[in-house]
Amino acid sequence: MNWVNEVMDNYYNFLKEKTIVTTDSSSDWVEISTPFVGLFNDTVDIYAKKEGRKIILSDDGNTMRDLELSGLEITKSFKRKEILDRILNNYGVTLNNGELITEATEKDFPQKKLNLISAISETADMYYLAKHTVASVFKEDVKAYLDEQELIYTPYFISKGSTGLEFTFDFQIAYKNLEIVIKSFNSVNKMNLPQFLFTLEDIKGVREQQTQKEIIGLAVINDSDKEISDEYINALDNKGAQYILWSERHTPENISKLNPFLNPHPQSLISL
């Protein structure tokens, strides 16, 4: 036996020793506590129940509940739901009333148990994934919104400011005498909003001198499941920046912020 086989045997023994089965006389369910770690550093527990020749395996809703407690609501986001569906389909697991469930037989029980644990682990990882990608997911939603309006835009637009620093905006829309630079905010706070306003102020004079165009900053803010504080809206207004709340993106007023030609009272945009 080489060292790899010995290490693997030790690993299998570890899994067996750390897996605890608890029966409940008042229920048909059996709790299986595994050595794997969940979102809150607790053990991943699954539950099994025999129904004829079938064995039902469930997480008892713990995975989705933990994600919601951590502030990540998957089912309210199309993109997140799409990722979740892909994970569950990959392991043959379904989501039923908040529970991750799969069916097994005595023959394929080990594989189905492993599949459920893997699905639980990958679903829980969506919390950490979201820390890095939730903003880019919303950015994709904003991109789809611009496409829906049939606008021509430049993604990842870079402009140098008066400080000599280069700043990146998510999108830029160019008209004859006007440029709109857009930043998408999945969440707005006292760190990222002042940064946007500083960036806009820093590039505005330089960019307007270079292009001989008026520069307008536009914040697209995700308010789908949160209320945006008035202090953020006031800050945008005070600095002359425009904004679109995601829930109101299809109103004529907000669409005209992207396409000034639709504005019935262009005012400063008459020269377009």
Q: Residue 52's domain is classified under what CATH number?
A: 3.30.1460
Domain count for the chain, please give it: 2
Cα–Cα distance measured from residue 35 to residue 43, given in angstroms and rounded to the nearest whole number: 6
Looking at the structure, tell me whether residues 115 and 175 fall in a common domain. Answer: no
Instruction: Look at the block and give the residue holding tokens 């605890």.
Output: 20
Residues 254 and 138 in one domain: yes
CA distance 11 to 36: 13
Q: Rounded distance, CA 78 to CA 83, Å?
A: 9
pLDDT, mean of residues 75-81: 77
Q: For residues 106 and 149, state if they share a domain.
A: no
Does the pTM surpass 0.85? The reply is no
Q: Please report which confidence band the pLDDT of residue 127 belongs to, taking 50, 70 and 90 as the band edges.
A: confident
Find the mean pLDDT for residues 97-106: 95
Beta bridge partners of residue 41, listed in sequence order: none
pLDDT (tens digit, 9 = 90+) per residue, 202-214? 999 999 999 999 9
Q: For residue 214, is it within any domain?
A: yes
pLDDT of residue 4: 61
One domain, residues 139 and 222: yes
Is residue 129 situated within a structural domain?
A: no
Statement to judge: residues 120 and 175 lie in one domain = no
When pLDDT is cut at 50, 70 and 90, the band that residue 2 belongs to is low
pLDDT value, residue 254: 95
User: Which of 127-131, 133-137, 266-270 is predicted least confidently?
Assistant: 266-270
Closest-CA residue to 150 (of 36, 26, 261): 261
Q: Are 221 and 228 spatial neighbours (Cβ–Cβ below 8 Å)?
A: yes
Structural domain boundaries enclosing 205: 134-269
Per-residue confidence (pLDDT) for residue 271, from 0 to 100? 39
99 and 145, same structural domain? no
Domain boundary among 124, 155, 188: 124
Regarding whether 140 and 118 lie in a shared domain, the answer is no
Which DSSP state fits 223? -
CA distance 249 to 56: 44
Same domain for 161 and 66: no
Residues 60 and 185 in one domain: no
CATH code, domain with 190: 3.40.1350.10
Beta strands in the chain (DSSP E): 20-23, 30-37, 43-51, 54-58, 94-96, 99-104, 154-160, 166-174, 178-185, 214-221, 242-245
> Who's near 265: CB < 8 A, 6+ residues apart?
none
In a domain, residue 112? The reply is yes
Residue 103 within any structural domain of the chain = yes
Domain boundary among 66, 97, 124: 124
Residues 119 and 10 in one domain: yes
Domain shared by 138 and 170, yes or no: yes
- Please indicate, yes or no, whether residues 114 and 12 belong to a single structural domain of this protein: yes
Taking Cα atoms as reference points, which of 65, 54, 175, 172 lies closest to residue 103?
Answer: 54
Q: What is the mean pLDDT of the chain?
A: 87
The residue out of 124, 154, 186 marking a domain boundary is 124
Burial class (CB in 10 A: 0-12, 13-18, 19+), 271: exposed
- β pairing state of 20-23 and 30-37: antiparallel
For 165, which DSSP code? -
pLDDT range class, residue 268, cuts 50, 70, 90: very low
Bridge partners of 50?
Answer: 55
